[in-house]
Structure 1
Amino acid sequence: MPIIVNIDVMLAKRKMQSKELAEKLGITQANLSILKTGKAKGIRFETLEAICDALQCQPGDILEYVTE
């Protein structure tokens, strides 16, 4: 998959647990896990904005494109 999701990296940098992020976003831990593992087919800008707000980061800190 050429798009890497680095939510775990940002969680570690912010010393935040997945459970806390899921609560802040108003989503289940299962849905957050789908995002974190890159298994999601897409992400809404609204969700991306909420993640960036909660983690105080930029979209590029979370999403990374790599060539295969």
Structure 2
Amino acid sequence: MPIIVNVDVMLAKRKMQSKELAEKLGITQANLSILKTGKAKGVRFDTLEAICEILDCQPGDILEYQKEQ
């Protein structure tokens, strides 16, 4: 998949657990896991905004495009 989700990287940089992020976002850990593993079909802008707010980062810190080879 050409879109890489780097939520785990930002969680590690902010020393935050997935459980805490899920609680602050108001989503289940299962749904956060789907996003983190890149299995989500999309992400809502308000969810992306909330992640950026909580982790104090930019969308580009979380989403990365990588060309398929």
Please give the TM-score of this superposition, normalised by the length of structure 2. Answer: 0.98
How many residues are aligned here?
68
Alpha-carbon RMSD: 0.2
Q: Name stretches of at least 5 consecutive residues in structure 1 with no aligned partner.
A: none
Percent identical pairs in the alignment equals 88
Equivalent residue number for residue 31 of structure 2: 31
* Correspondence 1:1-68 to 2 at 5 A: 1-68=1-68
Provide runs of 4+ in structure 1 moved above 4 Å.
none
Give the structure-1-normalised TM-score: 0.99
